[in-house]
Amino acid sequence: MRVLLVEDDRRIASFISKGLRENAYAVDTAQDGDEATYMASINPYDLFILDVNLPQKDGFAVCSELRGNGNAKPILMLTARDTVDDRVAGLDTGADDYLVKPFEFRELVARIRALLRRNNEIRSNTIMIADLDIDTVSQTVRRGGDPIELTTKEYALLEFLALNKGRVVGREEISEHVWNEDFDPFSNLIEVYIKRLRRKIDEGRPMQLIHTRRGAGYILNDA
């Protein structure tokens, strides 16, 4: 999942983005409201994290503009303001959740997971495809009961394929949701990671789950 973090405090932004990347999220950052709305207009984010006190446009204005432009993706507001009026203002502009600073990082991650689950449909924390078992909370993977060790990026790619089970996803879509804006579209990084996943998930198994559709992309399926 790809997240846009809008936070003008570089120290806080670095802390949050580092933690989210360690939890398999692709993260882009913006430091003011104008930059945030521009980035949202050119990139397909799965979730927005908005600080309220921002230069140019505050978080309320950014949230309102996103909703006004038809963006329905989850928005989590961050703020040091802990009054009922502030929370109501954030929710009334279209935010889905509100987290007051300071906060425990694990609570932030839990709220993100909840918002992403809620976004399209209610779904379990566990994804099962044939004998492949993916726990999206602990980010652990088993195949036939055997634990499979994955790097953070390998896990992120596998989870994205699993969430799109049975549907072919192309390189562009994968790069947009699994990598951030620094991804080089001319690199063979996606192919490298697909090869690694095949070796760990499918090698030596009678049923292959990761398939290539030539000229189209990749599909995770038990058919």
pLDDT, position 85: 77
* Residue ranges matching CATH 1.10.10.10 in the chain: 126-220
Lowest mean pLDDT among 1-5, 89-93, 131-135, 148-152: 89-93
pLDDT at 120: 53
**pLDDT score of 86 more than 80:** no
Give residue-wise pLDDT tens across range 50-79.
999 999 899 999 999 999 999 999 999 998
For the chain, percent of residues with pLDDT exceeding 90:
73
Burial class (CB in 10 A: 0-12, 13-18, 19+), 126: exposed
Q: What is the pLDDT of residue 122?
A: 45
What pTM value is reported for the model? 0.77
Structure tokens at 183: 């991804």
Is the pLDDT at 83 greater than 80, yes or no? no
* The pLDDT of residue 117: 78
Question: pLDDT tens, 195-214?
Answer: 999 999 999 999 999 999 98
For range 167-192, the mean pLDDT: 89
Q: Using alpha carbons only, give the angle 73, 165, 206 rounded to the nearest 5 degrees.
A: 155
CATH topology of domain 126-220: Arc Repressor Mutant, subunit A (1.10.10)
* Confidence tier at 112 by pLDDT (50, 70, 90): very high
Residue 119 pLDDT > 80: no
Q: Is the pLDDT of residue 89 over 90?
A: no
Where does CATH 3.40.50.2300 sit in the chain? Answer: 2-120
Alpha-carbon torsion (207, 208, 209, 212), positive or negative: negative
List of long-range contacts for 78-85, beta carbons under 8 Å, 24+ apart: 78/7, 78/49, 78/50, 78/51, 78/52, 78/103, 79/51, 79/52, 79/53, 80/52, 80/53, 81/52
pLDDT tens digits, 171-183: 999 998 999 878 8
CATH superfamily, domain at 2-120: Response regulator (3.40.50.2300)
Q: How many CA atoms lie within 13 A of 50 on its CB side?
A: 38
The band of 41, judged by pLDDT with boundaries at 50, 70 and 90, is very high
